[in-house]
Structure 1
């Protein structure tokens, strides 16, 4: 069996490596003419994402580049601690990684394993086993895997009526900093602040740290549109937005140079993608189940799906493999997408809702059962177990 993977971001290289381990030859076709070095801000790899990578002998890839996050401390704009949660102690900790480094590490690992990448291949048509690219070239395979992101061309080709991304009402920003003198070390905890006007997250360690902000904005803006405003102007606006918050947001923003700011544009998701596969084409990652960054699970879910699809194709005929892959993945990923949407609502809360949230959250966090969070993270994948259809 031969496979074509459309998209060389995060899910694509993982899918190719997982397919290779399953005995399936895979090539990756990427629309951009070169590698995506230096693109993107911070994200987390949850324990379940690490577990999925370990299943294909790639756990070391993120261990080399990640900073452990033992927990997330929730705070109000006054600095009051609202609660804390983290992954179960028996699981590996979450890792804070920078997308550019994660991308490069996965890309290099795939190349090291003999995976072929072809750049400048923008998908335009799929006809049976054949795919055609904008440059006029074609490729043929038994399986075509769409790993081409939230605005997936593959998804549109197999279902022209597929829903468009939904704007979450928030714009995303972030930066990586080395100038941390005089700032309190958060050790291995990410601090998440429900500010008076916007949401702010930060982690400060020895020699390096970073921050991100989610700014409520009535109208959607693409990353390109947001960048037209100018990084210096966004830093000025963000400093003003967090001016009254009794946390180090303004200080971290002040230490950020304009060329260090990452502007990601509007946060988006799709609550449910109706069609995951058609014929010999199947979707993974953000092409199948795009969740907003507020989930903290986007990359990890993409990695999970890539590995599970490879297992299904290893053990079942193609159509049955696609059906079983969707059966074992859809409920889990859509549940996380729904949770992230609620988090986005909390981040954009108005004055009354903000007061109620800050009053109720400490009690709710104390009463929450560990299983309320653990199910996301405790998701083992037994690579050697045979995938079987339900009886």
Structure 2
């Protein structure tokens, strides 16, 4: 017997519809309520790793996401001048990670969920909740409401549900980096293999680039900036000003300098400040619980934000399926998820420290990496515990 029979899911991005699908598989009816009139299509590109694809397979979405994503076979770490430091091939026995636009991932998940009967209500911005002994009611800005036995906050790193659960919860933590991207460039550098991604420690800014199947190139940069800015504040700065800063930061980098000379300010995509969620004191309270970025957003340096959110969606449904009492189910979910997501988030924070390091530290790092790649920086040791992880749906959860 499940802990609940129905739920409200707040947030229609990545975690929300997958949570509803997993709940349906567990015999729990859930409807998704999204704040925007349509799914948010902002953002640049992200990766769904093998562990994320495994979670998608559980809810019947893996094939759909793989079809719209580009496979990633090898990561190449470089100096800013293009000299290879190490190559990191994908792990044997696992599906290849998929690299895709955030909007394409949203579309694939949304369409797949609706095909499987998940109801998604757009334009439902949560403004408050009313709790009772046997349920919780969500109030929306348009005056409507919804009531169920559980409210699940899948509303992202700036979650309102998180603040409702714990008004003293910490805010997202700025990593000291602003993220920018350019997509669909053509002829800006020598074309590479379509299943390789290059990551370079530039003189003043970490950057990456790769070739897409259509022959166009993609470029991103993590620009160090000490003063934090909100996304709105960053977007108020003219693109031409940001592009000038990027060109100055990548002067002398190859192919970074060439690629930035080949673009215009109109092509710049500002993805905003790189942030992560610090450890939360509480993931749930009474009849409200968090899933995905609302609970455990790592910085994008982890390459795991989407995949961890997908894992948590499946794990939450599994716990609600197998643990009869609601408090016990939510506590078990948090116990199973917290150590893994916090470890990955902490490791990504260390990576960010390397991206903001000065020229001397980067020089020493470049000297050490070829040696490290033959010892402890081997693909299986680096990625095995993360990429080989599975939420075993068919195994019963013990409270």
Band the TM-score falls in, shorter-chain normalisation: over 0.9
SS in structure 2 at match of 1:367: coil
Check if 1:149 corresponds to 2:153: no
Q: Which residue of 2 aligns with 1:265?
A: 272
Q: Structure 1 residues 259 and 181, CA, compared in 2 at 3 Å: closer, same or farther?
A: closer
Question: Among residues 11, 14, 24, which one is paired with 2:15 in the alignment?
Answer: 11
Q: Structure 1 residue 111: deviation in Å? A: 1.4
TM-score by length of 1: 0.95
Residue 64 of structure 1 corresponds to 67
Identify which of 318, 327, 350 aligns with 1:319: 327
Partner of 2:287: 280
Q: CA 1:47 to 1:35, structure 2 compared with 1: closer, same or farther past 3 Å? A: same
Q: Is the 8 A contact 2:13 2:39 kept in 1?
A: no
| Further displaced range: 220-229 or 178-187 | 178-187
Distance 1:269 1:92, change over 3 A: same
Q: Which residue of 2 aligns with 1:122?
A: 125
- Classify 1:216/1:182 alpha carbon distance in 2 versus 1 (closer, same or farther; 3 Å): closer
Match of 1:241 among 233, 240, 249: 249
CA distance in 2, matches of 1:276, 1:147: 12
Residues 1:343 and 2:351 are matched in the alignment: yes
How far 1:372 moved relative to its partner? Answer: 3.2
Which shifted more, 307-316 or 115-124?
A: 115-124
Equivalences for residues 1-391 of structure 1 within 5 A: 1-37=5-41, 39-128=42-131, 129-180=136-187, 183-207=190-214, 208-245=216-253, 247-317=254-324, 318-368=326-376, 369=378, 370-389=380-399
SS at match of 2:108: helix
Unaligned runs of 5+ in 2: none
C-alpha RMSD of the superposition: 1.5
The 1:186–1:238 alpha-carbon spacing in structure 2 relative to 1, beyond 3 Å, is: farther
- The alpha-carbon distance between structure 1 residues 86 and 320, as it changes in their structure 2 partners (threshold 3 A), is farther
Q: Shift of residue 258 of structure 1?
A: 3.3
Q: Report the Cα offset of residue 359 of structure 1.
A: 1.3
What count of residue pairs does the alignment treat as equivalent?
A: 387
Q: Deviation per CA, 1:24-62: give whole Å up to 9, x if none.
A: 11111111122323x110111111000111111111121
| 1:181–1:360 distance in 2 versus 1, CA, 3 Å | closer
Question: Is the 2:20–2:118 contact (alpha carbons within 8 Å) kept by the matching residues of 1?
Answer: yes
Q: Is the 8 A contact 1:183 1:204 kept in 2?
A: no
**What's the CA shift for 1:232?**
2.9
Unaligned runs of 5+ in 1: none
1:86: how far off? 4.1
TM-superposed deviation, 1:298? 0.2
- 1:294–1:343 CA contact under 8 A, matched in 2: yes
Counterparts of 2:339 and 2:316 in 1: how far apart (Å)?
A: 15
1:87–1:377 contact (8 Å) kept in structure 2:
no
Give the secondary structure class of the aligned counterpart of 1:95: strand
